[in-house]
Amino acid sequence: VDPAIITDCEPGDLFVVRNVANLVAPYNPDGSHHGVSAALEFAVKGLKVNNIIVMGHTKCGGIAALMRGISDSNETEFLGPWMKIAEKARNKVLKHFSHKEMDIQNRACEHASILLSLENLVSYPWVREKLMNESISIHGWYFDFEDGELLALNPDTLVFEPLVEADESKLAGLNILGKENSTVEEHEDFSSGMKQTDQIK
């Protein structure tokens, strides 16, 4: 998915970071190589962006691999450890949707991984500081290849809604998590907020 094409932006309008399954790792300044964290720091501190968007999409190969258990296997050197970032999302999906078909589980995990990455964004102190003073906003988007529709996460309901109908005033700051210290595991509305996925035939 090319964000510039979807948003009809010109070259240079967006600072884009792409990786397997569009994941953001939690804040962990341990001296190792952290490409996403470095890009995030550059965007926030250097470019002083006003918005950070985590955008997932249907038929994500990384999420499909996660749901197949890639993070629990030793068959890859880098992919498995990377996908462990989203292990919490996978576990939550298996808890609520294990009785559903694999396509439905995958889509549920695609949604949940976006929420988890937004949660991880807030773990960065300089992101949290800007959220607190309302100088930056974070958003969760999801592109549906099948319907050609761009959806945005409504933080009040945790439902992905068509972006043209979404209330942008509700898509900013710490409200993206419902409350400042909420997590994917603790959020009471997690399963009900994924009702769109639950209704997929």
| Residue numbers belonging to the annotated binding site | 57, 60
CA distance 119 to 147: 27
CA distance 23 to 18: 9
Phi then psi for 186, rounded to 5 degrees?
-90, -20
Please state the residue numbers annotated as binding site for Zn(2+).
Answer: 57, 60
Say which residues have a Cβ less than 8 Å from residue 81's Cβ, sequence separation at least 6. 71
Instruction: Count CA atoms within 13 Å of residue 76 on its CB side.
Output: 14
CA distance 70 to 11: 35
